[in-house]
């Protein structure tokens, strides 16, 4: 007798420019994680030791704003390799605290602190590619790539994450009202 087995959902979580609070709330789900991981394979995350974002990901939760050129590259690769991308937390949804930098002259500050400031320049300064270049403005994820859902909160509490992940596992979408998608 053959049994048909539902394919497991390939889940990824990503951490860009933010504080990791969203991932901490994810871990705060306690025993509900057992229920989640009964249905998914965690194929990429700062919670596991996987170095390269894989192809054919079903759902990717992206925490953090797009702050530098590495984040920009990573966001594009995530979109290319994910069926569903969700802005996970207020930094990804609106830019939140990292976007406070948008009011400053960041290139001047970086130059003054690292090039002209007291002491030695940090390792990698002057070596292209060692340190990612800051973008002129911090951007919420949807300003860089198309996003399929929004999970707001700073950080989202475990109940909100549980509800959203449940919807995603059932194939439902999660979204903010259109008026709230224009932040950033």
N- to C-terminal Cα distance for the chain? 55
Burial environment of residue 14 by CB neighbours within 10 A (0 to 12, 13 to 18, 19 or more) = buried
Q: Which two tokens stand for residue 108?
A: 């001047």
For position 6, what pLDDT does the model report? 66
**What pLDDT band is residue 133 in, cutting at 50, 70 and 90?**
confident
Q: What is the pTM of this model?
A: 0.85
Q: Of 28, 84, 37, 94, whose CA–CA distance to 63 is shortest?
A: 94
For position 56, what pLDDT does the model report? 97
For position 178, what pLDDT does the model report? 57
Q: What is the CATH number of domain 9-118+128-173?
A: 3.40.50.700
* Residue 122 pLDDT exceeds 70: no
Domain definitions of the chain by residue range: 9-118+128-173
Q: Of 39, 30, 28, whose CA–CA distance to 5 is shortest?
A: 39
């Amino acid at each position: 007798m053959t049994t048909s087995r539902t394919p497991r959902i390939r889940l990824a979580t990503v951490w860009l420019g933010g504080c990791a609070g969203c991932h901490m709330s994810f871990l705060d789900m306690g025993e509900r994680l057992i229920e989640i991981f009964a249905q998914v394979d965690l194929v990429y995350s700062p919670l596991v030791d996987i170095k390269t974002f894989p192809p054919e990901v079903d759902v990717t939760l992206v925490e953090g704003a797009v702050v530098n050129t590495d984040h920009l590259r990573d966001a594009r690769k995530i979109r290319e390799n994910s069926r569903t991308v969700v802005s996970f937390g207020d930094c990804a949804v609106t830019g939140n605290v990292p976007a406070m930098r948008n009011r400053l002259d960041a290139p001047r500050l970086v130059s003054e602190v690292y090039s002209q400031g007291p002491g030695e320049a940090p390792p990698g300064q002057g070596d292209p590619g060692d340190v990612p270049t800051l973008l002129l403005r911090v951007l919420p994820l949807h300003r860089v790539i198309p996003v399929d859902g929004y999970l707001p909160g700073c950080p989202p509490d475990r109940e909100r994450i549980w509800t959203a992940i449940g919807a995603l596992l059932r194939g439902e979408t999660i979204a903010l009202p259109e008026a709230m998608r224009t932040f950033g």
